[in-house]
Amino acid sequence: MTVIRRFRQTTRAVALFGFALFASLPALAADTLNVYSIWPENWAKPMFEEFEKATGIKVNFVRFSSGEALARVIAEKNNPRVDVLFGGPVETYAAGINEGIFEPYKPPSFAALPPRFRQADGQWVAIADDPLVFMTNDKFLKENNLKAPASWNDLLAAPYKNMLQMADARTSGTAVTRIFSVLEVNGRDETKAFDYMKKLRPNVQLYTKSGGGGTLPVGLGQAGGGIFFIVDALDTKAKGYDVTISFPQEGIGTAAEGIALIKGAKNPALGKKLIDWATSPAMQNNFAKYKINFVPAHPDVVLEPSLAAVLKGAKIFPIDAEYAGANRKRIVDRWVAEVLNP
Amino acid sequence: MVMGLRNDPAVAIAVIVLWALLALFVVYPLVMLLGRVLTDHGTFTTAGLMAVLTDRHQIRAFWNSLLLAVLVGFAGTVLGFLFAFTAARERLPRELITVIDAVVLLPLVSPPFTTAIAMIFSFGPRGLITYDLLGLKGATVYGLTSTLASEVMTYFPIAYLTLRPLLAAIDSNVEGMALSLGASRWRVFRTVTLPLTVPGLANAFLLLFAASLADFATPLILAGNNFPVLPTQAFLQITGLFDLRGGAALSFVLLFPALLVFVLQRYWVSRRYYVTVTGKGAGQTPFDSISPDARAALLAICALVALVIVYFYALLLYASIVVALGANHTLTLQHYRTIFTDGLKAIRDTLIIAAFAMPLGGLYGILLGYLVTKKSFLGRRSMELVSMINYALPGTIVGIAYLIAFNDPPIELAGTALIIIACYIFRYGPTGIRATVALLQQIDKSLEEASQGLGAGSATTFRRVTLPLIMPAFFAGLGVVFIRSMTAISATIFLVSISWTLITVKILENITELSLGPAAAFSVLVVVIVFVVIAIIGRVLHRFRAPGAVSMTNLLGG
Amino acid sequence: MTESVGNRVGVRIDGVSKRFAHRVKGEVYAVREVCLDVRPGEFLTLLGPSGCGKTTTLRMIAGFETPDAGSVHFGERDMTGLPANQRDIGFVFQNYALFPHLSVFENVAYGLRVRGRTDAEIGKSVGDVLALVGLAGYEQQFSGQLSGGEQQRVALARAIVIQPSVLLFDEPLSNLDAKLRVQMRQEIHDLQRRLGITTVYVTHDQEEAMAVSDRIVVMHQGRVMQEGTAEDLYHRPSSQFVAQFVGRVNLVAGRVTEAAGDTARIAALGTMLSVRPSPAGLAPGAPVRLVVRPEAISILRTDAGPLQATVESRTFLGEKIEYVVRCAGEALQVVCYDERRGEVIPPGAAVSLRFGADAVTVLPATLAEDHRDA
């Protein structure tokens, strides 16, 4: 019987504690800022810690890939659970504008930024720039007597058959930027661009869920190469994997990384403070310190020398946010139908 | 509904409360899912569903799912049977059986990606096995074969745990009889042992079929682009394209095979058992029922599979203690540091959620199991049936249904821990229900009648007589809820939020973000926690040694 | 089918031993140096309490167990290493061991199918044997639908339909109720007589053993204690164990005072008793046990005679009356068949006892056995 009595006491205690737990939930939101981060935790976390150090505001965040984050914000439109969307290619933000999920806000740095790093109404503002690169496995190149690819067409070569990994456009902003890069180098001729992507399809071993998903397989040699954001590619190199980073002569797109205030945010004042800080050198000066290889968006921040060396001579063009935002869904749907599932 | 209960207010209240909970957490989400699939801005339409049903890619994904599930069911059942037969018939030393059990249990209590990650590393153009060991070039790791292999490795223990007690319970004299009538060992196996195991084999097949049908984690990592399956498609449709309706429609299609399996299991397989499994084995065959050659072959197969499992987990452990597997093999504890700092919230959240889901799930299991077995009230059978729904459906459906049902008012639970806890209780509590029912059927009715004869009401009788007797089921049920709380992802990936996240979701994120070390460290942590909890519960169950006490591991099987 | 088969063989067991690992005691002998000789067509029963090794012996004959030492022969053929499926036996288990997934017909047909008989032969044989055991018309039933007695008949039919050289029974009747048990043992006995198959039968029930067997082997602690006909065992037990196990018995302590010729004089119950024949090898002064069956004692309503006793209790059982009487301090059981209808000897009455001629068997009182059976 003692077992039963103990059991009853435990049940009662658990019930009380549980009630307290749920009742106390809303209180959590009072003095902290809630953020969906598209940047992975190992980059977002040090930034938010620096922010807390600078302002005393604690950031409560959860990480989602860009498609997931966007989906969540749209889903929660009527009852937003976060205040700020942080990181991720701005074409994701462009798609969000159509859904009316952002509150326009122009931080102090707004005027100092080049036009492509800010949405005219302040729906989003850029915090960094992130060019795409080709990343290939050194051993793979050597075994196949290949040079690092220097043209989009190099990736169509026979040795790459079933050896490339790149992101899936359904979930990854990296992939969307890549597709728009292909469109740009083909003069926005969709037929030509999709012809190329269809030709590339047999060489793609796997379309990964997230933008950086293919970097590890390329690092390990499980895949020969892929198209990634420079920040992921350099991270792979830094981890010790033997990979080569190269750029196509036709040029490759770069995606600005954005930040935006969510419409109906519970803590708009705190959110604005984060945007002020993130769009200024205050945050972007920290990239080098934490070995985050983003190109800073703010013109006053000096590009870290080793990163500058990598980028030297590369032909990089910005993705037109308006064009990308307007055509994103259609292009992705077409990609799914014609390239992913031929 | 509660007619005939007027004299028994405690039971009436319990029945009403349970029905209310079932309505809220089982029926309502499904109705909302159905509503989302079949309506558009308030008007009925099958357009959304038809869009899925006529899209050739989705049709392909559907057939792929079925193909994979059938293959997993078949291969897993065969492998599980080989293991069960070896364990039950080879007169192996006890210690060896314990080792087999522990190894076989590993995949069952691991986070869902563990075998998939190991597969990625071991096979493929530079896989440890395909390239480094066998020197194969151009091997591919994505597709049907590797998904199948990974799922079979992960789920065959279900078949093993279903079949072993069955084989052990076969009356050895029946086989002895066949032998004495002149049949060879092979003929005895073919004409007696195998036919007697058929219902168990069918059951194992259906369990594996359902498990594979529900699994979205393994295909997400391994299926690649040439072999899309439905749960993964539904997941990507929702999280990637934000097409909740399309995702709902996709998951809705999965409903049919899942329900078919459930009905088959419940109304066909269960009635065809010749052998009653009572928990205690009837002992081993009195004669050498396996020829020495067959014995050696069986042992070799089992050893090989066990070796592969051990290798997978050794690899996982290794990945968690080196800087970067494949590049920098310097030993380090940095990944553990990472998970206990950056990942601490996920660990804490998971443990808190598991800690709540566990006792509540256990309680729910014995209460419902008790009522449907021992009390008669209108709707008793339908209550049992409804309680099994979330258990029988693939997690993707349940997760999406919860997301749709509880995201907006009137019942807004999204973002709370409650939605995840409720999901666990109603999805994994049924194991406790079944354990309770099984246990109660072995407890003589006269015990309760004696209590009532002495003037105790049904509440008192339940508390003072029945409850102590079904405590084993309670602990077994809550154990299963805990383990699943630590390892499940298919439903809860849709339910995590800024306030509450889970280790499994974190693992998935880490895997897709190149942070293999932390993913491996998290997985190791989960395996360790689960093994510790199983050990503790095993001890508790041991103390409550009641007739027909069920073992934890056997419950995990079903 | 219904008449005796031609190929009768005997079963010979030579010095067979079997050890098992015991959880507490370590290695123990289940069977120790057992020798048996079953004659062709004979019905032999292994009788003994549970754990005496009788079932293990039977299973070694069947081939379910391999002896650690010794040999098993069917006729001249050495069977020792052969598995059960090469011995041509019919086995009937205590729990029947019917194939639950097969019909009655298919259960019985199993051994015939193994032997590759044609469907026509099988249909005929199965039909005949089911008729023989009284189960015609039950062909399509499953074991779950049958009563215990019916299941037992199916098990029997299944064992005999293959016309085995040897028929083996392992406590076949112990799951049946008392009345059915009596009926079935008669049927088994008659059937065996008719078929003439050499049979070894295991039971712990001495009455059952006596009812069915030509010869009985009493086993105890893995060894053979005595073998012989029912009459031999009952009237001429060679040990206290057999005396006590087979039928009811009074064991009276005594001492040899004189052993000469074919009569011995023994001091017991406060007097001197003459017994015939004189037990071999007992010198005067040796302690003995007198074995006296309860029905061999007569009660006389007189206080004269050498054996004075007092009635302690009386139980009327219909055809017989059981008394407990005290004689020289020892309680003795006495069974009287109620020939003198209605005569009542009340408790407390002083009586004198008379032992029937040849009714007393004298056994040496070995200390070990006293101790063991106390």
ipTM: 0.77
The three-class DSSP label of residue C357 is coil
Query: Which of B492, B499, B512, B515 to mutate: most A Cβ within 10 Å?
Result: B512
Distances in whole angstroms, Cα of residue B343 to Cα of each of A35, B356, B484, B507, B522: 17, 20, 19, 10, 9
Distances in whole angstroms, Cα of residue B420 to Cα of each of A27, B345, B406, C269, C273: 20, 16, 11, 87, 92
Length of chain C: 374
Poorest-pLDDT segment among A15-24, A195-204, B50-59, B173-182: A15-24
State what percent of residues in chain B have pLDDT above 90.
12
Count the neighbouring beta carbons within 10 Å of the beta carbon of residue C353: 20
Nearest CA-CA partner of B247 in B396, B367, B383: B396
The chain-wide mean pLDDT, for chain A, equals: 85
pLDDT tops 80 at residue C101: yes
Give pLDDT, residue A28.
46
- Binary contact (C95, B192; C-beta < 8 A): no
pTM: 0.82
The three-class DSSP label of residue B167 is helix
Q: What is the pLDDT of residues B230-260, one digit of tens each?
A: 888 888 877 766 677 788 888 888 888 888 8
Give pLDDT, residue B116.
83
Within the 275-334 window of chain B, which residues sit less than 8 Å (CB to CB) from chain C? Answer: 275, 286-288
pLDDT tops 70 at residue B57: yes
Give pLDDT, residue A200.
94
Count the neighbouring beta carbons within 10 Å of the beta carbon of residue A202: 13
Nearest to A25 among B126, B499, B501 (CB): B499
Q: What is the pLDDT of residues C293-333, one digit of tens each?
A: 898 888 888 777 778 889 999 888 888 889 999 988 889 99
Separation of alpha carbons A103 and A84, rounded Å: 10
Separation of alpha carbons A200 and A177, rounded Å: 16
pLDDT bucket at B514, cuts 50 / 70 / 90: low
Give pLDDT, residue C278.
66
Count the neighbouring beta carbons within 10 Å of the beta carbon of residue C344: 9
Dihedral sign of CA atoms B435, B441, B446, B452 in order: positive
**Please, are residues A110 and A122 in contact by the beta-carbon 8 Å criterion?**
yes
DSSP H stretches of helix in A100-201: 138-143, 173-185, 190-200
The three-class DSSP label of residue A294 is coil
Count the neighbouring beta carbons within 10 Å of the beta carbon of residue C302: 10
pLDDT tops 80 at residue B505: yes
Give pLDDT, residue C299.
87
Neighbors of chain B by Cβ distance (3+ pairs < 8 Å):
A, C
DSSP H stretches of helix in C197-320: 206-212, 230-235, 240-245
Query: Looking up tokens 């103990």, which residue turns up?
Result: A6
With beta carbons under 8 A apart, name residues in chain B contacting A85: none
Q: What is the pLDDT of residues A2-54, one digit of tens each?
A: 444 554 555 555 554 554 444 334 334 457 899 999 988 888 989 999 999 99
pLDDT bucket at C371, cuts 50 / 70 / 90: very low
User: Are chains C and B in touch, 3+ Cβ pairs below 8 Å?
Assistant: yes
Q: Which residues contact B24 (CB under 8 A, 6 or more apart)?
A: B411
> What number of C-beta contacts closer than 8 Å exist between B and C?
77
Distances in whole angstroms, Cα of residue B326 to Cα of each of B127, B524, C46: 10, 19, 71
Nearest to B126 among A171, A213, A220 (CB): A220
Separation of alpha carbons C276 and B529, rounded Å: 82
CA B388 to chain centre: 13
Nearest to A239 among B327, B408, B412 (CB): B327
Give exposure, A48-86, as e/b (b: 16+ Cβ within 10 Å): bebbeeebebebbbbbbbbbbbbbbbbbbeeebbbbbbb
Query: Which of B170, B181, B272 to mutate: most C Cβ within 10 Å?
Result: B181
User: Across residues B316-326, what is the average pLDDT?
Assistant: 86
Nearest CA-CA partner of B32 in B385, B417, B413, B484: B413
Count the neighbouring beta carbons within 10 Å of the beta carbon of residue B45: 12
Separation of alpha carbons B553 and B90, rounded Å: 21
**Please, are residues A171 and B236 in contact by the beta-carbon 8 Å criterion?**
yes
Give pLDDT, residue A27.
37
Separation of alpha carbons C146 and C40, rounded Å: 34
Q: E strands within C180-301?
A: 198-203, 215-220, 223-228, 250-260, 263-268, 271-275, 287-292, 297-300
Give pLDDT, residue C279.
67
Backbone angles phi, psi at C250, to 5 degrees: -105, 130
With beta carbons under 8 A apart, name residues in chain C contacting B188: 85
Neighbors of chain A by Cβ distance (3+ pairs < 8 Å):
B
Token duo for residue B325: 């597997």
- Binary contact (B140, A242; C-beta < 8 A): no
User: Across residues B9-29, what is the average pLDDT?
Assistant: 89
For residue B320, the one-letter residue type is: S
Give pLDDT, residue A178.
93
**How many angstroms away from the CA of B395 is the closest CA of chain A?**
19
For residue B302, the one-letter residue type is: C
Task: Give, as one character, the DSSP assignment of residue C103.
Answer: B
Burial of C175 from C-beta contacts in 10 A (0-12 / 13-18 / 19+): middle
State what percent of residues in chain B have pLDDT above 70.
91
**How many angstroms away from the CA of A340 is the closest CA of chain B?**
7
**How many angstroms away from the CA of B169 is the closest CA of chain C?**
13
**Please, are residues C247 and C325 in contact by the beta-carbon 8 Å criterion?**
no
**How many angstroms away from the CA of A208 is the closest CA of chain B?**
8
Separation of alpha carbons B552 and B513, rounded Å: 35
Backbone angles phi, psi at C189, to 5 degrees: -60, -50
> What number of C-beta contacts closer than 8 Å exist between A and B?
153
pLDDT tops 80 at residue B513: no
pLDDT bucket at B272, cuts 50 / 70 / 90: low
Nearest to C85 among B174, B184, B274 (CB): B184
Give pLDDT, residue A238.
85
The chain-wide mean pLDDT, for chain C, equals: 86
Token duo for residue A141: 């190149």
With beta carbons under 8 A apart, name residues in chain A contacting B231: none
Separation of alpha carbons C245 and C218, rounded Å: 9
Poorest-pLDDT segment among B261-275, B281-295, B301-315, C153-167: B281-295
pLDDT bucket at C130, cuts 50 / 70 / 90: very high
Separation of alpha carbons A117 and A103, rounded Å: 17
Give pLDDT, residue B228.
86
Query: Looking up tokens 């009327």, which residue turns up?
Result: C316
* Chain C residues with CB within 8 Å of chain B CB: 59, 62-65, 83-91, 93, 95, 97-101, 110-111, 114-115, 158, 162, 168
Residues of chain A predicted below pLDDT 50: 1-4, 7, 16, 19-29
Nearest CA-CA partner of A332 in A186, A177, A204, A192: A177
Nearest CA-CA partner of C252 in C331, C175, C190, C182: C331
Nearest CA-CA partner of C58 in C28, C18, C20: C18
**How many angstroms away from the CA of B324 is the closest CA of chain A?**
7
User: Across residues B194-218, what is the average pLDDT?
Assistant: 86
User: Across residues C242-265, what is the average pLDDT?
Assistant: 84
Token duo for residue C132: 């023989």
Nearest CA-CA partner of A124 in A145, A157, A95, A159: A95
Which range of A315-329, B413-427, B463-477 scores highest in mean pLDDT? It is B413-427
Radius of gyration of chain B (CA): 24
**Please, are residues A173 and A255 in contact by the beta-carbon 8 Å criterion?**
yes
Poorest-pLDDT segment among B5-14, B77-86, B397-406: B5-14
- Binary contact (A205, B416; C-beta < 8 A): no
Helices (H) then strands (E): counts for chain A = 14, 12
Nearest CA-CA partner of A184 in A334, A321, A330: A321
Query: Looking up tokens 């393994």, which residue turns up?
Result: B218
- Binary contact (A217, B359; C-beta < 8 A): no
Q: Are strands C215-220 and C223-228 parallel, antiparallel or unpaired?
A: antiparallel
User: Across residues C105-123, what is the average pLDDT?
Assistant: 91
**How many angstroms away from the CA of C114 is the closest CA of chain B?**
6
**How many angstroms away from the CA of B514 is the closest CA of chain A?**
5
**Please, are residues B522 and B510 in contact by the beta-carbon 8 Å criterion?**
yes
**Please, are residues C215 and C224 in contact by the beta-carbon 8 Å criterion?**
no
Count the neighbouring beta carbons within 10 Å of the beta carbon of residue A31: 11
Token duo for residue B128: 């440890």
Give pLDDT, residue C220.
93
For residue A17, the chain B residue with the least C-alpha distance is B356
- Binary contact (B124, A217; C-beta < 8 A): yes
**Please, are residues A255 and A227 in contact by the beta-carbon 8 Å criterion?**
no
Give pLDDT, residue A182.
94
**Please, are residues C90 and B177 in contact by the beta-carbon 8 Å criterion?**
no
Query: Looking up tokens 């199948």, which residue turns up?
Result: B148
Poorest-pLDDT segment among B432-446, C104-118, C348-362: B432-446
Query: Which of B177, B188, B190, B288 to mutate: most C Cβ within 10 Å?
Result: B177
Nearest CA-CA partner of B84 in B180, B170, B191: B170
Burial of C286 from C-beta contacts in 10 A (0-12 / 13-18 / 19+): middle
Query: Looking up tokens 């084993």, which residue turns up?
Result: B472
User: Could you write out the DSSP letters of every residue in B427-490?
Assistant: HHHHHHHHHHHHHHTTS-HHHHHHHHHTT--HHHHIIIIIHHHHHHHHHHHHHHHHHHHHH--T
Query: Looking up tokens 């098993």, which residue turns up?
Result: C72
- Binary contact (B240, A67; C-beta < 8 A): yes
Burial of A260 from C-beta contacts in 10 A (0-12 / 13-18 / 19+): buried
**CB-based contact, B139 to chain A, within 8 Å:** no
